Amino acid sequence: MTATTAPRRKTAAPRSTWDTWGRTGQDSFALVMAARKGLPAATAFEVAEAFQLQTAQLEAIYELSTKTLRSYTQSKKLLNAASSEKTLKIIALYQLGVEVFGDAPAFLRWLGKPAHGLAGEVPLPLLETSGGIDLVEEELSRIAYGDLA
């Protein structure tokens, strides 16, 4: 692990867990109810692994240091409602991105490049806010339906 790389878990979340959470992220009511219950803090590191996030990117998304996230994980603490909501939306976004681009590497490449439909903004930093996640999701939907303008 380098100084700029977020800690990597040895195993990713079980697909069935991410599949369930991803579907939750697509249903507004279910998303809010699940977010209020909270997700395990370890999920933040699963997101970091899936998105190949650097430490600074992970910290910007969760507004917590990796040290704090690690402490929460070790003590089996849950993320607060806002961070849980963001996580559920990010998981759903990941699933949509893989579906649209055909595989994770292609989706992750797209996240790191300026997007025409986002006024030339790079999508990945937009994941720092719930509204930004929504913008990236809308752009993915436009790409999926062939509306690249």
pTM for the model? 0.82
pLDDT at 125 over 50: yes
Q: Is residue 9 part of a domain?
A: no
List all residues 6 or more positions away from 140 whose beta carbon is below 8 Å from its beta carbon.
93, 96, 97, 100
Q: How many CB atoms lie within 10 A of CB 23?
A: 15
CA 67 from chain centre, in angstroms, equals: 19
Alpha-carbon distances of 76 from 43, 72, 73, 80, 117, rounded to whole Å = 11, 6, 5, 13, 39
Q: Is residue 4 part of a domain?
A: no
Q: Is residue 78 part of a domain?
A: yes
Q: Is residue 6 part of a domain?
A: no
Confidence of residue 121 (pLDDT cuts 50, 70, 90): very high
Confidence of residue 11 (pLDDT cuts 50, 70, 90): very low
Q: Is residue 122 part of a domain?
A: yes
- Residue 112 sits in which domain range? 15-144
Q: Which residue has the higher pLDDT, 26 or 84?
A: 84
Confidence of residue 25 (pLDDT cuts 50, 70, 90): low
Q: Is residue 10 part of a domain?
A: no
| Residue at token pair 């963001």 | 86
Confidence of residue 31 (pLDDT cuts 50, 70, 90): confident
Number of domains in the chain: 1
